[in-house]
Amino acid sequence: MSSRPRTRTSDASGPDTQADLGKTIQRLRKAYNLSLGELSEQSGVAKSIISQIERNETNPTLSTVMRLSRALDTTVDEVLRGEQQSLFIEHQTKSGIPMLESQDGKCKLAIVGPLNLVDSFQWYDFHAQEKGVLESSPHPQGTVEHLYVVTGKLEVTTSGETKLASAGEALRYRADVPHKIVNVGTTAAHAVMVLALKQFGTPS
């Protein structure tokens, strides 16, 4: 029997923490559709030990938790936090959503994508009044803009080439050249815009 110390973090040895650990291991195992035997093979932890951990009949060593964490594609910290960890990453209230405005004041963009990813991924909620124009300078080389029109009719011009998109339609176009969006409809327009500044799958 191992004589290594048991896992302990602030009150980690208490019954509530131990129960959370067992529930977390079981939840992750089932999420990956792994049997006890399969998790045992991938982690090197005996099947009987994993079963005891999930039933909260034993308090595993740190080494055991590390091996199970690697097999379940997560970290020791995440496992030890247990079921009390929220699955919500961020909640931005209305006042916390950054807003941009076009030069003519007729177009507004809410930056609804995560700000920590703006160097590779940007996501906007776009609204344009009638005849509103949004002109943009070139984005970094390789940037592609994805535009989905929710309501209205928008005309997109990129480097002199123009396309029209109506409600329910999407356009994808080079955005590493000068481009602009114009509301050519007779009502306000609404669109969702995503910029992929580095196309997925391309080398660094």
Q: Which helix (H) or strand (E) holds 47?
A: helix 47-54
Q: 87 pLDDT band (50/70/90 cuts)?
A: low
- Which residues lie below 8 Å from residue 185, measured CB to CB, with a gap of 6+? 130, 152, 153, 154
Of 48, 44, 59, nearest to 5 (Cα)? Answer: 59
Q: Identify residue 152 by its one-letter amino acid code.
A: G
Task: Please name the residue that has the structure tokens 């990129």.
Answer: 158
pLDDT of 95-129, one tens digit each? 888 999 999 999 999 999 888 788 888 999 999 99
**What pLDDT score was predicted for residue 172?**
96
**What pLDDT score was predicted for residue 134?**
96
Residue 124's Cβ-count burial label (10 Å; 0-12, 13-18, 19+) is buried
Q: Which residue has the higher pLDDT, 121 or 154?
A: 154
**What pLDDT score was predicted for residue 13?**
39
Q: Which residue has the higher pLDDT, 189 or 198?
A: 189
Entry pTM: 0.58
**What pLDDT score was predicted for residue 197?**
87
CB-CB contact of 103 with 135 (8 Å): yes
pLDDT of 41-80, one tens digit each? 999 999 999 999 988 888 888 889 999 989 988 888 777 7
- Which residues lie below 8 Å from residue 96, measured CB to CB, with a gap of 6+? none
**What pLDDT score was predicted for residue 195?**
94
**What pLDDT score was predicted for residue 10?**
35
Average pLDDT over the chain, rounded to an integer = 84
CB-CB contact of 46 with 53 (8 Å): no
Residue 6 is classified by DSSP as B
Give CA separation, 73 vs 49, 68, 90, 92, 188, in Å. 19, 9, 22, 28, 47
* Category of 181 on φ-ψ map: left (φ > 0), alpha (ψ -120 to 50) or beta: beta
pLDDT over 70 at 4, yes or no: no
